[in-house]
Structure 1
Amino acid sequence: MNDAHLHLVVNHFPIIGTIFGLGILIAGLVLKNNSVKNTAYVLLVFAAIFAFISMSTGEGAEEMVEDMPNIGKQIIHKHEELAEKLALLLYATGIFSLVALYTSLKNHKFSKIASYITLVLAIGAAVLGSSVGTSGGEIRHTEIRDNTVNSAVENVNSNSENATDEN
């Protein structure tokens, strides 16, 4: 298994784990259930761990695909920049999740504040994760790129004009 394959295997977990962790954390806060919140904290820590693994394999994956046709270095660079920001945000979310988990287990007076800080970080990570996932998908899935529809229409129009000119 090479870095590109490993990257494709693990890169979904930080995004999906964050979304599930966020949903479970919201449920725990609404229900005022520490067990549910603690589950969310653990899931958010795992999302941060998988973000580290994904970042570790990203460079190798880039090396393998950057010179392929229809894959520009600009698309990869955009994805890389967004992924670096997401990783930092997930690391912070993971750290605050550990703090929130500790304060929750110890019934510390700061557990509620730690919960809300973790919530805000997880919301930011989920939103940014959506952009990272989309930019990563655009690397190999040209059909989801914003300019794909416009390029296809321009190609059809220019082909129609060329055919008309030839007649």
Structure 2
Amino acid sequence: MDLTHIHLLLNHFPIVGTLIGAGVMLWGMALNQKTIKAVAAIIIVATTIMAVPVYLTGEPAEERVENVTGISESAMEEHEEAAELAISLMAAAGIASLAALLLQYRSSSRVPFGLATILTLVAFAAMARVGYLGGQIRHTELSGSQPLSQQVNSSESDDD
């Protein structure tokens, strides 16, 4: 197993983790339960930590596939640029969640968890976009670059 495999294996965690973390955070805020909000903050912080190796293995994964026939350089560049924004937003969500976790016992304000939730939802959208763009690199059937009839014909010929 190399860094490309690790990238492909782990890249789903930041997407799913932010969605779960935001959902649990909203649930905790709706019920005004400190324990649920704390669990949500821990999920988001853990997801932020998990996003780091995903981001760091992106460059080695790019180097491995950049000379493969059919791989679009522009698709890889768009994916990389989106990942740079997403990791920054994920870091902001993780820091805000950690701060909210630490501040919840000093203040009853909903602002820290509200901010953490908003940042997490924005990070989710950014991470989902990165995942979508990453899928476009290798999965040409998702890009819509060739007509559906060609996709069907090529898949039928693969079955022979």
TM-score by length of 1: 0.85
Deviation at 1:110, TM superposition (A): 6.4
1:100 and 1:111 in contact (8 A); partners too: no
Post-superposition CA distance 1:97-139 (Å, at most 9, x none): 11011112xx222652110110110111111122111101111
Aligned residues: 153
**Structure 2 match to 1:33:** 33
**Structure 1 match to 2:4:** 4
Deviation at 1:150, TM superposition (A): 6.9
TM-score by length of 2: 0.89
Post-superposition CA distance 1:62-112 (Å, at most 9, x none): 0001111111111111111111110000001111111011112xx222652
Higher alpha-carbon Rg: 1
- C-alpha change, 1:149 and 1:42, in structure 2 (3 Å) is farther
**Structure 1 match to 2:64:** 64
RMSD of Structure 2 on Structure 1 (CA): 1.9
Identity of aligned residues (%): 37
Deviation at 1:151, TM superposition (A): 8.9
Structure 2, unmatched stretches of 5+, are 154-160
1:42 and 2:33 aligned = no
Secondary structure of 1:69 counterpart: coil
Return structure 1 stretches of 4+ with deviation > 2 angstroms.
Answer: 146-153
**Structure 1 match to 2:142:** 144
The structure whose RCO (Cα within 8 Å, separation 6+) is larger is 2
- C-alpha change, 1:103 and 1:21, in structure 2 (3 Å) is same
Larger relative helix fraction = 1
Aligned mates of 1:114, 1:75 — CA distance in 2 = 37
